[in-house]
Amino acid sequence: MISIFCSGAALAASCNDQRGTVIFEDNFADDSGGWGWITDPNLKFGGGTWSLHLDPKYTNWGNLNTTFNAQEADYCMEVVVPKSVAPGNAVSLGLAFWANDTDNFYVASIDSSGHATLYRKAAAKWQNIFDLASPGVKFEPGSIAAVRVQAIGNVIVFSVNGVELKRVRAQIPSGPLRFGIYFETQNGNPPPGVTVSIKKFRVTSGQ
């Protein structure tokens, strides 16, 4: 059974109220969490933070975990809400889940302009499931936000800071599904590039 979040004031920006058995948890004390691309000099682990600097020649980046899998689960990550790289050029930072590979996955994201979105990438093509310009909860650039997805029983429930934003029915893909982090800029990535940070990533059974 999927728990229902309150629709009023936001709760604490943390992943501490997830239900069920812990499948995976990383507080980024080091690089032992099974993430890909750990040899990338722009990717840093340690001191309770995962951070990546995206060079100007790139506009998006994804990092799927390589050693853990989850299907029906409660996914949550605590992020530092990114700042826009320029006026009209928001930075979107999201939680990737139900990933077969980097061409087939879902991502629930927030961006520096206050939007909350759910996308699906299937056979390398993007599909916009919903884009909430006024999601009902504010997340200011530089603050910590808890981005959470409960993906259980063919229902995706997307919340931020304990406030349910949207739920949608979806078929769970087959196979050993992965999870991870995805972010992008909307209109290019001017010098010196953009840096994003994650403070925690946690996955539980959800029930």
Alpha-carbon distance 53 to 41, whole Å?
Answer: 9
pTM summary value: 0.92
Alpha-carbon distance 111 to 90, whole Å?
Answer: 6
- List, in sequence order, every residue forming a beta bridge with 169; answer none if it has no partner: 155
Number of neighbouring beta carbons within 10 Å of residue 196:
20
Q: What is the structure's pLDDT at 6?
A: 36
Q: What is the structure's pLDDT at 2?
A: 36
DSSP 67-135: S---SSEEEEEEEEPPPPSBTTB-EEEEEEEEEEETTEEEEEEEETTS-EEEEEEETTEEEEEEEESS-
CA distances in angstroms from 63 to 16, 102, 105, 110, 114, listed in the order given: 23, 9, 12, 17, 23
Please give the chain's pLDDT, 207 residues, in tens. Answer: 333 333 333 446 899 999 999 999 999 999 999 998 778 899 999 999 999 999 999 999 999 999 999 999 999 999 999 999 999 999 999 999 999 999 999 999 999 999 999 999 999 999 999 999 999 999 999 999 999 999 999 999 999 999 999 999 999 999 999 999 999 999 999 999 999 999 999 999 998
Question: Could you name the CATH architecture of 22-204?
Answer: Sandwich (2.60)
Q: What is the structure's pLDDT at 37?
A: 79
